[in-house]
């Protein structure tokens, strides 16, 4: 795949992150990170993605610290697909390193996934998630998601972020707005680990054109047994 030009980004302003930061008095101005949505390398790929209701995006998150926390995305949940299961999403770290904080909507499970360049992270149905860049280097990541999907940010805003905050000094603290009964943060790594079949085994862009490989994006309820085999749950 040739490099896709990253132009005309949707820019997440730093001020938009304030409702999900640990410090309620946090002050931050200027751009936070960039989102490049609906990308393709040629017209054939674009037509295939459109006809299969799939979107290929790239997000660029600079290495920085905001009010003591490593820079992070706002966090969102996924609404339900027609089969009554929440839409899934899959990420690929292209450059840098990432932490993906996943929390089940009923708060019965909270996971911190460590990922490096080349790793794939699949967000299973029912989990909201936040992406964190835990370094001074730029994080570049791609994702594939159903184009019928829309991000639901409000639950994270109402709770002033995810269930746990990650600080640049290494501290991890529970968000006091969540119940005392939330589970401890489980940490896993996906580095060097493959997703189970039929999920993608290679770079996400190379999956474009493979209907079987990406069927789970629009039919999340058809792969319940396969989700149980993810490294997230072993």
How does pLDDT run along the chain (234 residues), one tens digit per residue?
558 889 899 999 999 999 999 998 999 999 999 999 999 999 999 999 999 999 999 999 999 999 999 999 999 999 999 999 999 999 999 999 999 999 999 999 999 999 999 999 999 999 999 999 999 999 999 999 999 998 999 999 999 999 999 999 999 999 999 999 999 999 999 998 999 999 999 999 999 999 999 999 999 999 999 999 999 986
Q: According to the model, what pLDDT value does residue 24 have? A: 85
Query: DSSP letters of 53-102?
Result: TEEEEEEEE---EETTEEPB---BEEPBPTTSSBPPEEEEEEESEEEEEE
Separation CA 21–CA 201 (nearest Å): 35
- Produce one character per residue of 121-139: b if its CB has 16 or more CB atoms within 10 Å, e if not: bbbbbbbbbbbbbbbeeeb
Separation CA 234–CA 168 (nearest Å): 28
Q: According to the model, what pLDDT value does residue 103 have? A: 98
Q: According to the model, what pLDDT value does residue 2 have? A: 54
Which class does domain 10-233 fall in?
A: mainly beta
Specify which residues 12 forms β-bridges with: 33
Separation CA 224–CA 125 (nearest Å): 9
Question: Around 147, how many Cα atoms within 13 Å sit in the side-chain half-sphere?
Answer: 13
Q: According to the model, what pLDDT value does residue 233 have? A: 87
Map out the domains of the chain as residue ranges. 10-233
């Amino acid at each position: 795949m040739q490099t896709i030009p990253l132009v005309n980004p949707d820019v997440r302003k730093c001020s938009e992150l304030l409702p999900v930061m640990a410090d309620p008095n946090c002050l931050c101005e200027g751009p936070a990170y960039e989102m490049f949505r609906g990308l393709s390398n040629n017209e054939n790929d674009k037509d295939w993605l459109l006809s299969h209701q799939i979107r290929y995006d790239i997000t660029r998150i600079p290495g920085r610290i905001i009010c003591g926390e490593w820079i992070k995305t706002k966090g969102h949940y996924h609404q339900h697909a027609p089969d009554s299961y929440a839409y899934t999403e899959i990420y690929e770290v292209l450059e840098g390193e990432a932490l993906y904080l996943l929390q089940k909507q009923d708060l019965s499970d909270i996971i911190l996934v460590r990922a490096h360049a080349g790793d794939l992270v699949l967000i299973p149905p029912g989990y909201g998630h936040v992406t964190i860049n835990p370094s001074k280097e730029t994080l570049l990541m791609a994702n594939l998601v159903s184009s019928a999907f829309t991000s639901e940010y409000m639950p994270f805003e109402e709770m002033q972020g995810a269930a746990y905050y990650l600080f640049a000094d290494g501290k991890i603290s529970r968000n006091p707005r969540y119940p005392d009964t939330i589970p401890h943060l489980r940490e896993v790594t996906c580095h060097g680990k493959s997703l189970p079949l039929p999920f993608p085994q290679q770079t996400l862009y190379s999956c474009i054109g493979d209907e079987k490989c990406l069927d789970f994006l629009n039919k999340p309820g058809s792969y319940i047994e396969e989700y149980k085999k993810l490294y997230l749950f072993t």
